[in-house]
Chains A and B, each alone.
Chain A
């Protein structure tokens, strides 16, 4: 029998860094799907005894639920997985593995159906002649814009706020490939265009129990600016992104690094995400709702 080796702190930190990298480039939704797919592959390749599988599955669930920052849809789906797999503990190894894979596949399907419904719902908020500001990568916002243009034939323009190239580059590629009229400006120049824009579309990592939105860095400033200038802010999130925990428990990652720029040495602290007050958001659109005020 193999002795179970628990994941070391260093290995966990590396994994969470990988989660952040993924989330930064792809957004939280695809990250959650890839994580569940990786979970399935890991279970399929696992070689262990019947007595070990329960603790191995639970250990991995714990690791996934503890990412920094927390990926809320992934946590909800993992909790559902834990609840559904536990009645099978005590069965044969192969049976537990088969059931684990089946349940995880179902969770992916559930998540994808939520995403699809949100996109369908979200398309209603795109209107002809709109000038929509898009800030950071959000699977939902990206798909809503593309499908509104391609399926509904909506004629609108997108004012894309450029951050660093890896983040914005993918969005530029997908929106322009879809034939959407695109204007790209640096995010700090938005104040020059406020008179011309009709709405701001944002996605989020999570919406917390104390009415905060955890979103990509830079979102807070853009939302505040739009709110002050009465530009409606639309938040697109599926209900799996609503957390039972307050903002303080979202595990926002803070990175401290020593920097040397020219003749200056200093320590720079960077947070992985922004926090936005939900009251600044004009409409929250989920897979069920119809854009009610938050």
Chain B
């Protein structure tokens, strides 16, 4: 093989190795991605300036800004108030615990990142389920599943959406307009599935005095823990007002012309200034490794794009499926859904964006439906297995810490059907959108 040909394939080889190492979690994701970038730089395949130009700073700004906002919100006690209120509302009814906590998890996930949401909700759900003598596993898995479903509804809910929105220029409102419907229907269907398959578990406990006592005693304790917390009402008000301002600016992006990344960073900095929070402390809460991981992946995929490999993949794999828009949309949805169940949906989405762009150039499909297919597939697909999404891994780790281990197969037992259900619903909704558009 000639040296020239070898150099041509080197970015592909580096990318493949990085993907494998990330998939099998052999090394830290950020370290792997940046090592891949360093190999490309050392071999002279790209220059430093080219590397930096490949990074989508809009995505990085949006992620960083939202991480700061969430860190300040956590400090304000907002989540403690929310979880205690929800726990009291459930009155210890197993079905209410499932539905109310899931609804709150899905809703919060639409605006904040999924890992933060499950970190807040899962411990209290485990405590409640255990206190009632119920198996907490199904509750934990349900929180992870609905968190991934809820996060799909908005531009800022899940990293794949942040990346798609930023790289393609789609607005918060467009995401909400097209994705809220499939998300709400999928949420309802998944809740229905959990209820149908576990009816025995969701029977009310009001015929069992000892269980009623345990739950009442537990809720009193949760409330006591909450009352012992010091809540600074001014701090809380400032945080909530700023979050609402950020969401309003996301919604009015077309009018103001301010991109979500700029909104997130601006609001985060204003919050830091007006709450006089310890900046060093908040910076520790920012997931720098995630931001470095994103940057590294942008460079790796940017290199593949520049070297023409992405175009080759689009033409030789996806465009071989023909030019029927229904087939293309469903192909992107299901390939993304299945792939995201086994590999990280962040690198997958970053890789797929240039491919979908080429597919759209060859077959223009209206109303960004192909992008919605990618978003729904990448986000919902994360529910397929335990390793499909960060929220799943974090939920399982928290369950283990609380004495209830969830194995890979146990997770799949309860998550595979919800994934299939949500992907089937997405297929129907996307087909409907396409039928209306054509």
A residues contacting B by CB (< 8 A) are 2, 4-8, 10-11, 14-15, 18-19, 21-22, 26, 34-35, 37-39, 41-43, 45-48, 52, 56-57, 59-60, 63-64, 170
Evaluate contact between B221 and A7: CB separation under 8 angstroms.
Answer: no
CA distance A46 to B215 in the complex (A): 12
Q: List 30 A-B contacts (CB under 8 A).
A: A4-B208, A7-B210, A7-B211, A10-B133, A11-B214, A14-B214, A15-B214, A18-B131, A18-B217, A18-B218, A19-B217, A22-B221, A26-B224, A34-B220, A37-B216, A38-B213, A41-B216, A42-B209, A42-B213, A43-B209, A45-B212, A46-B209, A47-B206, A56-B210, A57-B209, A60-B209, A60-B210, A63-B210, A64-B213, A170-B228
In contact, A35 and B217 (Cβ under 8 angstroms): yes
Which residue on B lies nearest to A58, using beta carbons? B209
Contact A59 B131 (CB under 8 A): no
Contacts A11-B133, A14-B130, A39-B213 known; A46 to B207 CB distance under 8 Å?
Answer: yes
Interface contacts beyond A4-B208, A37-B216, A37-B220: sample of 9 additional A-B pairs, CB < 8 Å, sorted by A: A6-B210, A7-B133, A11-B133, A14-B133, A21-B221, A34-B224, A45-B206, A60-B209, A63-B213
Chain B residue with the shortest CB-CB distance to A7: B210
Nearest chain B CB to A62 CB, angstrom units: 9
B130: min CB distance to chain A, Å: 5
| Nearest A residue to B228, CB-CB | A170
Q: List residues of chain A with CB within 8 A of the CB of B228.
A: 170
B219: nearest residue on chain A (CB-CB)?
A38
Which bucket holds chain B's interface residue count?
20 to 34
Least CB distance from A135 to B in Å reads 20
**Interface presence of B85 (CB below 8 A):** no
Please list the 9 inter-chain residue pairs (A to B) with the smallest Cβ-Cβ separation, ordered nearest first.
A11-B133, A42-B212, A38-B216, A56-B209, A42-B213, A38-B217, A7-B210, A2-B207, A41-B216
- 1/0 contact trace for B132-171 toward A, CB 8 Å? 0100000000000000000000000000000000000000
Q: How far is the CA of A34 from the CA of B206 in the complex (A)?
A: 19
CA distance A76 to B171 in the complex (A): 66
Q: Is B91 an interface residue (CB 8 A)?
A: yes
A39's nearest neighbour on chain B, judged by CB, is: B213
| B 82-95 to A, binary, CB cutoff 8 A, 1 in contact else 0 | 00000000010000
CB neighbours of B211 from chain A (8 A): 7, 11
Q: Hey, which chain A residues are within 8 Å of B91, CB to CB?
A: 45
- What's the dominant secondary structure at chain B's contact region? helix
Minimal Cβ-Cβ distance residue in B for A10: B133
Could you tell me the distance between the alpha carbons of A26 and B228 in the complex, rounded to whole angstroms? 11
User: Chain B residues with Cβ under 8 A from A19's Cβ?
Assistant: 217
Which residues from A are CB-within-8-Å of B215?
A: 42
> A21-B221, A48-B207 are known contacts. Are A14 and B131 too (CB-CB below 8 A)?
yes
Instruction: Decide if B133 touches A42 in the complex (CB within 8 Å).
Output: no
CA distance A286 to B188 in the complex (A): 59
With a cutoff of 8 Å between Cβ atoms, the chain A residues found around residue B209 in the complex are 42-43, 46, 48, 56-57, 59-60
Contact status B207-A59, CB under 8 Å: no
| Nearest-Cβ distance from residue A182 to partner chain B, whole angstroms | 18
Alpha-carbon separation in the docked complex, A6 to B318 (Å): 60
Residue among B210, B212, B215 with max Cβ neighbours from chain A (10 Å): B210
Residues in A with CB closer than 8 Å to B133 are: 7-8, 10-11, 14
User: B residues within 8 A CB of A46?
Assistant: 206-207, 209, 212
Select from chain B the residue with minimum beta-carbon distance to A21.
B221
Q: Which of A5, A39, A57 contacts B208 (CB 8 A)?
A: A5
- Cβ-closest chain A residue relative to B214: A15
Residues of A within 8 A of B214 (CB): 11, 14-15, 18
Chain B residues with CB below 8 A from A21, complex form: 221
Interface centre among A37, A38, A60, A64 (most CB of B within 10 A): A38
Per-residue 0/1 for B209-246: is the Cβ within 8 Å of any A Cβ (1 yes, 0 no)? 11111111110110010001000000000000000000
Chain A's closest residue to B132 (CB) is A11
- List chain B residues, Cβ under 8 A from A56: 208-210
Contacts of A18 in B (CB 8 A): 131, 214, 217-218, 221
Task: Assess whether B131 is in contact with A15, with CB atoms less than 8 Å apart.
Answer: yes
Which residues of B are found within 8 Å of A22, using beta-carbon distances? 217, 221, 224
Indicate which residue in A2, A15, A47, A48 contacts B217 across the interface (CB closer than 8 Å): A15
Please give, as numbers and ranges, the residues of chain B lying within 8 Å of A43 by CB-CB distance.
Answer: 209
A9–chain B nearest beta-carbon distance, Å: 10
